[in-house]
Each structure stands twice: as structure tokens, then as C-alpha cells.
Amino acid sequence: MPEPLLELRSLHKRFGGLRVTDDVSLTVQPNEIHAIIGPNGAGKTTLMGLISGTMPPDSGAVLLGGRDVTHWPLPRRARLGMARSFQITSIIPGFTVLENAALAVQARTGSSFRFFRRAHTEAHLNDQAHAALTQVGLAPRARAIAATLSHGEKRQLEFAIALATQPTLLLLDEPLAGAGPEETERLVPLLGRLRTNHGILLIEHDMQAVFALADRISVLVYGRIIASGDTAAIRDHPEVRAAYLGHDALA
């Protein structure tokens, strides 16, 4: 088995007397979608913060490509290949779709990008930005102002911004939040295609999407992983059913 893109080793985090991350260990392999599910208040957002470097664990370790990055800030982790979809950069509403993606290329390459210079002077940025937009199906909207995009298209642009940093690991925190049925129908296959070149750690409340996409699922309840396995094992796990009592997705 190849070395994991991401490995968590016994992560713990407390806020005062509240234990929000309790001995969490998991891995994400290359070309794998590993989903984390759990009820509200399970500690998913805190765990994502520990992984991305926006908060430190009390104990345990985060390894990225075999390197211990536990005490690295997010920008340094990003340079090693980690991209968190909604923290790479914010969509700038008044800029075009292409310009938004080119900003992410600039951040990775250190180029002196200027939006008001002739386009050909920054062709290498635009070419790489176009490639990211093509991956997510937004190339035809490259010249559109970002503010005019639909909600689903803005999600696609967020993915393109992350991809423009050329990551090996994508951290996607509720990428389908707020998407309508038609948008979800378009975004789910896109997420599935992204595993071709990336490992993905996915936090998502849409259980139909999770079961359609995930290779493995870990269930987080009160900060602790109570079950981890493929979709069939998770559907049939008695503790998972108890945690999701009343949720039709596991019926």
C-alpha cells in the first residue's frame, strides 16, 4: 500500500473541560475519497482546523506525505500539497472567473500578477488558471464576473481555485452546502472525477452524496471516531445507526 497522503495519529483537542477531538486517527490514500460524517456538534469543524493548521492539537500528530506538519501553519502545509477549498482564497466578486483562478496560480508561483496589464504578459498564469477551470467545467465562464455566477458555479470556482495551487490532498468542508438538486447533480460527478489526481478528505451532510462518492467513511460522534470502513460496513454498523437515529439516509 502506498504511503498515505494524510495520516492523523491520536489527535486530541479540548476547549476548557470539553473534549472536542478524542484520540482521532485516520488516513487518506492517493486517489481516495475518505468522508467524515457525524451529527451536528460531533467535532468535524474542529478536526478540519487541526488538519489544516488553523488550530493546534493538544496532543497527537498530523503527517502530510509522511512529514510531520503538526505545528506548521496553513500556508506552509499548502506548499507541501494541502488545499482547503474555502481557505485558499476568497472569491473576489468584482473579478472575473479567470482572474480569481489566476490569483491562486500567483500564490503558488510567486508571480507579480497585475490584472490591468496586457493579458499576454501573464500568459503562463492564464494558461494554468484556464486548465483549473477546465477541470471543473467553468472554462466557458472564464470571462464572467464572479458575482454573476450561480451558487453551484461559485462552488466550482472554489474547487478551481484550490486546484490551481496544484495540491495532492484536497480538504473539502461541506462542498454541497446550499446547493439545490440540479447543482448537486452536477457537483457530485465533478467531485468523483477529482479523485483521479488527488486524495480527498470530505466532510458532508448530504448522505446520498457521501455514499455515492466515498471509498471509506469515518463516523465522528462527540469527537471520537466510532466506526470506519466502506459504505456497506457503515450502513450496517449498529452504533452508526444509533448516532443517526431517524436519518433516512442510513435506512
Q: What is the pLDDT of residue 86?
A: 56
20 by DSSP, 3-state: which? strand
Q: 129-160 burial string, b = 16+ CB within 10 Å, else e?
A: bbbbbebbbbbebbeeebeebeebbbbbbbbb
| Amino acid at residue number 181 | P
Helices 181-194 and 123-136 meet at what angle, rounded to 10? 120
pTM of structure: 0.89
How far is the C-alpha of 207 from the C-alpha of 210, rounded, in Å? Answer: 5
Q: What is the pLDDT of residue 248?
A: 52
82 by DSSP, 3-state: which? strand
DSSP state of 181: H
Q: What is the pLDDT of residue 171?
A: 95
Answer positive or negative: Cα dihedral of 176, 233, 41, 48. Answer: negative
Distance of CA 8 to the CA centre of its chain: 16
| Amino acid at residue number 65 | G
Q: Kindly report the length of the chain.
A: 251
Q: How confident is the model at residue 242 (pLDDT cuts 50, 70, 90)?
A: confident
Q: Which fold has domain 1-87+168-251?
A: Rossmann fold (3.40.50)
pLDDT tens digits along 160-192: 999 998 999 999 999 998 888 999 999 999 999
pLDDT tens digits along 15-73: 998 999 999 999 999 999 999 999 888 999 999 999 999 999 999 999 999 999 999 99
Q: What is the pLDDT of residue 88?
A: 44
Around 117, how many Cα atoms within 13 Å sit in the side-chain half-sphere? 9
Domain residue ranges of the chain, discontinuous segments joined by +? 1-87+168-251, 89-164
Q: What is the pLDDT of residue 244?
A: 67
For 66, residues 6+ apart whose C-beta sits below 8 A from its C-beta are: 3, 4, 7
Helices (H), 110-205: 123-136, 151-163, 181-194
* Rounded mean pLDDT, 94-106: 89
The residue among 250 and 175 whose pLDDT is bigger is 175
Strand duo 199-203 + 169-173: pairing: parallel
* Rounded mean pLDDT, 215-222: 95
How far is the C-alpha of 139 from the C-alpha of 132, rounded, in Å? Answer: 8
Q: What is the pLDDT of residue 68?
A: 98
Q: How confident is the model at residue 111 (pLDDT cuts 50, 70, 90)?
A: low
How far is the C-alpha of 193 from the C-alpha of 170, rounded, in Å? Answer: 13
pLDDT tens digits along 112-168: 445 444 333 467 788 899 999 999 999 999 999 999 999 899 999 999 999 998 999
Selection from 72, 49, 94 nearest residue 223 by Cα = 49
Q: What is the pLDDT of residue 106?
A: 81
